[in-house]
Structures are given as C-alpha cells and as structure tokens.
Amino acid sequence: ERNKLLWIIFFITPGLLVVGLFILLPLFMSLYNSLFSWKQLIRMDFVGLENFRRLLTAFPYQERFFNALKNNLTWFLSTTLIQNSLGLLFGYLLSRNVPFAQFFKRVFFIPVLFSIVAVGFLWGMYLKPTGLVNNFLKLVGLAALQRPWLGLEHLATPTIILVNIWRWVGFPSLVFLAAIDNVPGECLEAAYLEGVGEWKLFWKIIFPLIIPSITIITVLTIIGSLNVFEQIYTMTGLDG
C-alpha cells in the first residue's frame, strides 16, 4: 500500500508543479500585487483595496472596465447563441449521414486549424472598404450593402464576432457529432419503432444525453470570450 502511494505521488507531482508554478503562483502574485500602488513597472506603497475601488467607481477606469465587461458578455452570448447553435445543428445533420457528410466534416474543421493571427490579418484585409467582401457585394449587384465593416462602431464588434464564429464553428460541430454518435443505438431504434419523428427524437432523447458535451462547450466558450485579444488586435490594430 505504501509503495502504491509513493508511485501515485511520483506521477502526480510533475503535473502539480506545472500547475502551481505557471497557473496558481502567477494568479496569487497578481492578486498580491494588485494591493499596491504602481509607478510604471515599479511597485510602490501598499494601498489595500484602493485599486479595486478606483476600478469600480472612479473615472475613467469604471467606464472602461464595465465597457470591457459588456463587450465580453456580448461576445459570449453571441457566440453561444449563434456558433454553438450552428455547431449543434451541423453535428446533428452530419450524424444523420447527409450527402457529402465526410467532406463537410473536414471543411467545417479546417478553419479551426488556422492561426488566429493569420485569420485576423486576412479578414482584416477582406473587410476593408476596398476589400474582397465589398467587391463581392458589388459584383453580385448588392453595392448598397457595402460598408466600412471595421470602421463603424455599431458594426465592428458584430463583424469580428461573425469572423470568430466562422473560424470556430467546426469545433463544437465535431464535439456534438461525437456525442450524438455515442448515443446508445437501442434508444434510437426503440424510438423509431414507436414512430417518433426526428424533431421529438432530438429533443426528448438525443439532447438530454449530450448535455455533458454542451456543458463543456459552454465552459470553453466562456473562457474564450474572456481571453479574446489576438483576433481583435490583428483585425483592427490599436484602434480596435
């Protein structure tokens, strides 16, 4: 029993060290340093919660903080409602073996493999007033829809969110596809024998059984929404 415990400690210690050094330690050091005043990169006097008070109540920090929080919330809700809903739809259709299903599996996932910097840079060029998107709209007779997509305040954020959805929708699609394929076949067969339609089959049987996958995708969406930076920076630069 003692040898077993030693082996467990031996195998988990490297992982715990990595988590402790690169995740927990920086987290607590950031919290500790937030209790001091700073002059550029020089730590000054201990001020307690004064920095948090200024962040939440003083201008311009309050405005910037809550604006950033609103943008994160907008990003999360849009991504969840559009990207993950589309991923669920695509995953279900692919599980039904629609024509060219194998082809679409690869097509949906290809953008996920692209570098976020490359995606942001290319779409930033495409969405310029003289870029590919506006030229395409003009070519198909929709010149009235041409816009400076990244230059208008009310369009910039939705445009960047749509680009993000285009890049990531393949990931939830394949996760949901794998979850649906793991639904016990006898459940589906019994439902078909009872004459259950596709819509009821999905909501009453498939959807409840894939909720763990939906939970995982939702958590990853929250993390991604709070960490987004590279795409906005590469698409709009410092003015984003």
Whether this model's pTM surpasses 0.85: no
Hey, where are the domains in the chain? Answer: 59-239
pLDDT in tens, 92-121: 988 887 888 888 888 888 898 888 888 888
Residue 224 has pLDDT above 90, yes or no: no
DSSP label of 51: H
pLDDT in tens, 130-171: 889 999 999 998 888 888 888 888 888 899 999 999 999 999
Query: What is the reported pLDDT for 238?
Result: 63
Helix, coil or strand: residue 220: helix
Tokens 């311009």 belong to residue: 60
Sign of CA dihedral 133, 137, 139, 143: negative
Query: What is the reported pLDDT for 212?
Result: 93
Query: Which residues, other chains included, contact 126 with Cβ-Cβ below 8 Å and sequence gap of 6+?
Result: 132, 133
Cα–Cα distance for residue pair 223/79, rounded to 1 Å: 12
Q: Which CATH class is domain 59-239?
A: mainly alpha
**Residue 87 — pLDDT band, cuts 50, 70, 90?**
very high
Cα–Cα distance for residue pair 165/90, rounded to 1 Å: 13
